[in-house]
C-alpha cells in the first residue's frame, strides 16, 4: 500500500514501524475521520475516502469514523476561525447521509475485511468529565499541546478551550478504537499530523508500551492545493463541490473535473482514480501532445463521476455536457429537458413572448436589461431555437410548445422552459 501511495504522490508521512507492520502480511484495521457538519461529503473528502478504499484493496479493514461527538466541538486544524456548533439531532441525521455516500466507495459486506462505520458520539456522550480528565488529560502537558501546528496558527486569532480540547478527544477516539476494535492505524491529511501523533502517544502511555514499541501507527496524506494555492475542492464560484446530487448536480460535478487545469490533471488521475501507472502516463502523454482534446480530463471526469453517481447518471451527465457545448442547436425535447434539470435555466410565461425577444429575455433574467438584450441582438450574437435573431421584436415559437434554446455568443447557452 505504501508503495502505491508513494508513486501516486499522495504520501506525506508515516510513523516508525508502519512499513514493517504492513510487510508482515497480517490484516490491519485503519480509520479516517469524517466531519458530519453537513448532510453530504464534498470532493475534499475524496482523499480520505480513497485512502480507505486503497487500504481495503490491499487487504486491510477500513473504519470510517463519523465525528458525531467531536463535530459538536469543532476541529481547529486548518481553520482560521471557530465553526458554528450543530445540535445532536442534525449531526446524527448527517451521519446517516454520509454512510450512503461512503457505500459508493467502500465494501461494507460482513466479514473480516468489510468496511465499518462508527460514530464517536456513542462513546463520547456517556463519558464523564472526571473520567476523561483522569484517563486522558493527565497524559498531556500544556507545552506539548501548544507546540502542535493546529494550535499555534490560532493562538493569535483566538482559540476557545472547546477547540483546544479537540486534540484530546481525537486522541481518545484512537485509543478507544485501538482498545475495542483492534484498530492500529489512523490516517488523515497533513494538517492532522499533530492530532494523529497525540493519539499514538496516548495509546503508548495507556498500554504501557515502551518508548521503542509501536502498538499503533499513523499515516498522513499530502494537502492538495489548486494552482493558485487555495484549498482543493471549491468550484469557480467558491462553493464546495458536493457528492450529493441535490447540492451539486451530476452535470456540474462532471464539469468540475472536466475543467481541471492541465497542470493538475496528472495529479488528480493518480489521487482520484484507480487507473494504473501505465494508463495514467499514457493519458499524460496524450494531453501533452494534444492538450485541446482534453482526453485526460475526460477520463478523469468520467471515472470519478461514475464512481460517485453510478454509470447511468455519469453517462447522462456526459451526454448533457457534450450537448451543452456542441456547435449546433438542440431540437430534441428530451435533451432540452435533461439539460434544464442538470444545468438549470429560466422559465417563461408564453404570454410574454409577444413582447419580442429583447423584452422577454430581459424579463426572464437572461440579460440584465432590455437595452443589453437589444445590443446583443444588434450585434448578431443571439440565436433562439437555431434561428439567428436580428429583430428585437422577434417572437419565437417554443419547441414542442415548451422549450426555448437560447445561445448568446459562442460559449453561452440558456435553456428556457414554459412555466406551469
Phi, psi of 62 (to 5 degrees): -80, 135
pLDDT digits (tens, 9 = 90+) for 330-339: 888 888 888 8
Q: What is the mean pLDDT of residues 269-273?
A: 96
Residue 229, C-alpha cell as written in the block: 494555492
Using DSSP, state whether 77 is helix, strand or coil: coil
Q: What proportion of the chain, given as a percentage, has pLDDT over 90?
A: 64
Residue 170 has pLDDT above 50, yes or no: yes
Of 21-30, 145-154, 254-263, 361-370, the one with minimum mean pLDDT is: 145-154
- Do 2-221 and 340-418 agree at the fold level? no
How many angstroms separate the CA atoms of 177 and 65, rounded? 10
The pLDDT confidence band at residue 220, using thresholds 50, 70 and 90, is: very high
Residue 233 has pLDDT above 80, yes or no: no
How many angstroms separate the CA atoms of 95 and 119, rounded? 8
Domain 2-221 fold? Rossmann fold (3.40.50)
Pairing of strands 412-418, 346-348: parallel
DSSP state of 86: P
pLDDT digits (tens, 9 = 90+) for 89-121: 888 889 899 999 999 999 999 988 899 999 999
pLDDT digits (tens, 9 = 90+) for 298-307: 999 999 999 9
What CATH architecture does domain 340-418 belong to? Roll (3.10)
Tell me the CA end-to-end span of the chain in Å, nearest whole number.
55
Of the candidates 71, 52, 49, the residue with the CA atom closest to the CA atom of residue 120: 71
Residue extents of the structural domains in the chain: 2-221, 250-325, 340-418
How many angstroms separate the CA atoms of 39 and 28, rounded? 30
Domain 250-325 fold? Tyrosyl-Transfer RNA Synthetase (1.10.240)
The pLDDT confidence band at residue 232, using thresholds 50, 70 and 90, is: confident
Q: What is the mean pLDDT of residues 365-379?
A: 93
Mean of all residue pLDDT scores within the chain: 89
What one-character-per-residue DSSP string does 284-351 give? HHHHHH-GGG-HHHHHHHHHHHHHHH-HHHHHHHHHHHHHHT-SS----HHHHHHHHHHH--EEE-GG
Residue 79 has pLDDT above 60, yes or no: no
Amino acid at each position: 500500500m505504501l508503495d502505491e501511495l508513494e508513486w501516486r504522490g499522495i504520501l506525506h508521512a508515516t510513523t516508525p514501524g508502519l512499513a514493517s507492520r504492513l510487510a508482515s502480511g497480517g490484516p490491519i484495521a485503519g480509520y479516517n475521520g469524517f466531519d458530519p457538519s453537513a448532510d453530504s461529503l464534498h470532493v475534499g473528502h475524496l482523499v480520505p475516502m480513497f485512502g480507505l478504499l486503497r487500504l481495503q484493496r490491499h487487504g486491510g479493514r477500513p473504519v470510517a469514523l463519523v465525528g458525531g461527538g467531536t463535530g459538536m466541538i469543532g476541529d481547529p486544524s486548518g481553520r482560521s476561525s471557530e465553526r458554528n456548533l450543530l445540535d445532536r439531532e442534525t449531526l446524527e441525521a448527517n451521519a446517516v447521509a454520509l454512510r450512503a455516500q461512503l457505500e459508493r466507495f467502500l465494501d461494507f459486506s460482513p466479514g473480516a475485511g468489510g468496511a465499518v462505520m462508527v460514530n464517536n458520539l456513542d462513546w463520547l456522550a456517556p463519558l464523564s468529565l472526571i473520567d476523561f480528565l483522569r484517563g486522558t488529560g493527565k497524559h498531556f502537558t500544556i507545552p506539548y499541546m501548544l507546540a502542535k501546528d493546529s494550535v499555534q496558527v490560532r493562538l493569535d486569532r483566538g482559540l476557545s478551550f472547546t477547540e483546544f480540547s479537540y486534540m484530546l478527544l481525537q486522541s481518545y477516539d484512537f485509543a478507544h478504537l485501538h482498545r475495542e476494535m483492534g484498530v492500529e492505524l489512523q490516517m488523515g491529511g497533513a494538517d492532522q499530523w499533530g492530532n494523529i501523533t497525540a493519539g499514538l502517544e496516548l495509546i503508548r502511555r495507556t498500554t504501557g508500551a515502551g518508548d521503542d514499541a509501536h502498538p499503533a501507527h499513523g499515516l498522513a496524506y499530502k494537502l492538495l492545493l489548486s494552482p493558485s494555492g487555495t484549498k482543493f475542492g471549491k468550484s469557480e464560484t467558491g462553493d464546495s463541490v458536493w457528492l450529493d446530487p441535490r447540492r451539486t448536480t451530476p452535470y456540474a460535478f462532471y464539469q468540475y473535473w472536466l475543467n481541471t487545469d492541465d497542470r493538475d490533471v496528472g495529479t488528480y488521475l493518480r489521487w482520484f482514480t484507480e487507473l494504473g501507472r501505465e494508463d495514467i502516463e499514457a493519458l499524460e502523454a496524450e494531453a501533452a501532445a494534444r492538450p485541446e482534446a482534453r482526453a485526460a480530463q475526460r477520463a478523469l471526469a468520467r471515472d470519478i463521476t461514475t464512481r460517485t453517481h453510478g454509470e447511468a447518471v455519469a453517462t447522462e451527465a456526459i451526454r448533457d455536457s457534450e450537448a451543452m457545448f456542441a456547435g449546433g442547436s438542440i431540437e430534441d425535447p428530451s435533451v432540452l429537458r435533461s439539460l434544464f434539470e442538470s444545468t438549470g435555466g429560466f422559465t417563461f410565461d408564453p404570454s410574454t413572448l409577444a413582447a419580442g425577444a429583447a423584452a422577454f429575455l430581459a424579463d426572464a433574467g437572461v440579460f440584465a436589461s432590455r437595452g443589453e438584450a437589444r445590443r446583443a441582438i444588434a450585434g448578431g450574437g443571439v440565436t433562439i431555437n437555431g434561428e439567428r435573431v436580428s429583430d428585437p421584436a422577434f417572437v419565437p415559437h417554443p419547441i414542442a410548445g415548451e422549450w426555448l434554446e437560447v445561445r448568446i455568443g459562442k460559449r453561452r447557452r440558456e435553456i428556457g422552459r414554459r412555466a406551469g
